[in-house]
Amino acid sequence: MDIQKSDALRRMPVLSLVLPCYNEQEVLPETTRQLEALLARLQASGEIAEGSAIYYVDDGSRDATWDMISSYSEQSDKVCGIKLSRNRGHQNALLCGLLTAPGDILISLDADLQDDLEAIPRMVAEYRKGSEIVFAVRRRRNKDTFFKRVSAESYYKFLAFMGVQIVYNHADFRLMSRRAVESLRSYDETHLFLRGLIPQLGYKSSTVEFDRAERFAGESKYPLTKMLSLAWQGVTSFSAYPLRLITGVGMAISILSLAMAFWAIVTKLFTNQALPGWASTVIPMYFLGGVQLLSLGIIGEYVAKIFESSKNRPRFHVESLCGKGFSEDGSR
């Protein structure tokens, strides 16, 4: 491609907004209305090209989400839908959307309007200036509960400590160029943690700040268990530090026990003090038992990952598509 043509593309790209949805019937009407208005505005001002559209990924919803998406796609050529065969989790749904939607740039965001739409024009502007990936980062977390704020902040710090390269306070609200998305295609890990993976792609990247709002309607689809599981993926998919920690703790305890043995011999040989009894026998037993079980658990977690990956199962199945973006002319 000659440089002039690629410059023209960069000035006026086709934008696809990718939104995973799981039981989002309460928010979809408002989300669609706001996103359509945004696309129309950006198109009118010449920031994005004709053909830009919303791509909803229905992650196996049990409510009217898919019916709504398909009826919107009949009424408007700005709405398209991808239906997964069952619930595969936010990360897989997001990946499916990124890998399936057309467009020169793709912006992923949540369906519940928590991500500030006004950050989108700024993200597009960063792309036009040359960034291949634009991370939206939260300025403040004043809308989150105290628990969520503290746990999220400690988690980001913990990941950084473990050597995981991550963009601080960035979740999955980001812009990716076609080139970056194509690079993502070659990673086929079973346990996805996109916000850890994408910074590893390299390419020129930048950040824009936004304030996260409260969920527009409906309930969070990320209960504590799902959140903990994602957090754990983030650690074990990108860091072998927990395994190393086990080695360190094991070594320290071994050295300590040698010292204890030495002390016991010295006591026995050179003093007539009573030998340590119950406490010194039972406490180390429980302690070591605990350390061993924990270590086995952590090793087991990595082994389970190898097991899951070795099966190499597909991460999602697309059941159906709707919308102009997938029709004959917008073909895929």
Shortest reach from residue 56's CB to ligand UDP, in Å: 9
111 binds, among ligand UDP, Mg ion, none (CB under 5 to 8 A by kind): ligand UDP
138 binds, among Mg ion, ligand UDP, none (CB under 5 to 8 A by kind): none
Using H for helix, E for strand and C for coil, what is the string for 60-73?
Answer: CCCCCHHHHHHHHH
Shortest reach from residue 216's CB to Mg ion, in Å: 9
Of 65-73, 107-115, 291-299, 323-331, which part binds Mg ion (CB under 5 A)?
107-115
79 binds, among Mg ion, ligand UDP, none (CB under 5 to 8 A by kind): none
- Residue 159 lies near ligand UDP (rule: CB under 6 A): no
Q: Which of 15, 18, 21, 246 binds ligand UDP (CB under 6 A)?
A: 21
How far apart CA 124 and CA 113 sit, in angstroms, is 18
Between CA 32 and CA 19, with CA 70 as vertex, the angle to 5 degrees is 45
Contact 156, 166 (CB under 8 A): yes
Q: Which two tokens stand for residue 122?
A: 């700024």
- Residue 110 lies near ligand UDP (rule: CB under 6 A): yes
Q: Which two tokens stand for residue 116?
A: 């500030």
Start-to-end C-alpha separation, the chain: 21
24 binds, among ligand UDP, Mg ion, none (CB under 5 to 8 A by kind): ligand UDP
Handedness of CA 116, 119, 124, 130 (dihedral sign): negative
Question: In DSSP terms, which residues pair with 15 in a beta bridge?
Answer: 105
Contact 305, 237 (CB under 8 A): yes
Phi, psi at 76, each rounded to 5°: -135, 140
- Residue 112 lies near Mg ion (rule: CB under 5 A): yes
Q: Which two tokens stand for residue 41?
A: 């505005």
Count Cβ atoms below 10 Å from residue 43 Cβ, excluding itself.
17
Shortest reach from residue 60's CB to ligand UDP, in Å: 8
222 binds, among Mg ion, ligand UDP, none (CB under 5 to 8 A by kind): ligand UDP
Question: In DSSP terms, which residues pair with 16 in a beta bridge?
Answer: 53, 106
Q: Is 14 left (phi over 0), alpha (psi -120 to 50) or beta?
A: beta
Q: Which of 193, 221, 234, 238 binds ligand UDP (CB under 6 A)?
A: 221
Phi, psi at 108, each rounded to 5°: -100, 140
Q: Which of residues 218-247 bind Mg ion (CB under 5 A)?
A: none
* Cβ burial 287-309 (10 Å sphere, 16+ → b, else e): eeeeeeeebeebeeeeeebeeee
- Residue 114 lies near Mg ion (rule: CB under 5 A): yes
Shortest reach from residue 265's CB to ligand UDP, in Å: 57
Of 14-22, 159-167, 267-275, 294-302, which part binds ligand UDP (CB under 6 A)?
14-22
Shortest reach from residue 90's CB to ligand UDP, in Å: 4
- Tell me the per-residue interface mask from 35 to 64 with ligand UDP, x by CB under 6 A, - otherwise: ------------------------x-----
- Residue 93 lies near ligand UDP (rule: CB under 6 A): yes
Question: In DSSP terms, which residues pair with 54 in a beta bridge?
Answer: 17, 79
* Widest Cα–Cα separation across the chain: 94
Number of residues that bind ligand UDP (CB under 6 A): 17
Binding site for ligand UDP (CB under 6 A): 20-22, 24, 59, 87, 89-90, 93, 110-112, 114, 215, 220-222
Binding site for Mg ion (CB under 5 A): 110, 112, 114, 215
